[in-house]
Amino acid sequence: MKIDRNKSALKLLWHRYQLTRWIIVAVLTLIFVISAYCTFIAKTTHVQNLQSSLEQSTVIYDSKNQKAGKIYSQKGTYVGYKDISTNIPNAILSTEDRNFYNEHGFSVKGFGRAILLMIKNKILHREYISGGGSTLTQQLVKNAYLTQQQTFSRKLKELFLSIQVENVYTKQQILTMYMNNSYFGNGVYGVEDASRRYFGMNAKDLPVQDAAVIAGMLTNPSAYNPVDHPKLALKRRNVVLQLMVENNKLSQSEANRLKKTPIVVKNTYQYKDGYKYPYYFDAVIDEAINKYGLSESDIMNRGYKIYTTLNQSQQNSLQDDFKNDSMFPSNAADGTKVQAASIALDPTTGGVTAVVGGRGQHVFRGYNRATQIKRQPGSTIKPLAVYVPALENGYSYNDILQNKKISYGSNKYTPQNYNNVYTGTVPMYTALAQSMNAPAVWLLHKIGVDKGYQSVKSFGLPVQKKDKNLALALGGLSSGVSPQQMAGAYTAFANEGNMTTPHYIRKIVDSSGKVIVDNDTTTSKNVMSKKVADEMTSMMLGVFDNGTGVSAKPSGYQVAGKTGSTEADNTGDSDATRDKWIIGYTPKVVVATWEGFDNTNAGHHLENLSGTGVGPLFKAEMQQILPTTGNNSFSVKDASYLDSHQGQGSSSSSSSDFWNDVKNGANEVSKDLGKGIDNLKKNANNWWNQAKKYVGK
Active-site residue list: 96, 379
Closest CA to 370 of 463, 481, 495, 504: 481
Closest CA to 619 of 381, 342, 358, 430: 342
Q: Are strands 590-596 and 339-345 parallel, antiparallel or unpaired?
A: antiparallel
69: region left, alpha or beta (phi > 0 left; psi from -120 to 50 alpha): left
DSSP sequence for 445-501:
HHH-HHHHHHHHHHTT----GGG-SGGGGGT--SS-B-HHHHHHHHHHHHTTTEEE-
Angle at 540 between CA 451 and CA 563, to 5 degrees: 90
Q: Which residues contact 296 (CB under 8 A, 6 or more apart)?
A: 285, 289, 365
Beta-ladder partners of 402: 425
Half-sphere exposure of 526 (CA within 13 A, CB side): 6
> What DSSP designation does 505 have?
E
Closest CA to 318 of 306, 327, 330, 331: 327
Rounded Cα distance between 505 and 61, Å, is 10
Beta strands, E only, 333-423: 339-345, 352-356, 400-403
Sign of the torsion formed by the C-alpha atoms of 249, 253, 259 and 262 = negative
Beta-ladder partners of 70: 59
- Which ranges in 124-267 belong to alpha helices (H)? 136-145, 152-168, 171-181, 191-199, 208-216, 221-224, 230-246, 252-259
Closest CA to 155 of 173, 178, 135, 185: 135
Residue 260's identity, in one-letter code, is: K
Rounded Cα distance between 505 and 63, Å, is 10
Whether residue 398 contacts residue 433, with contact meaning beta carbons closer than 8 Å, is answered with: no
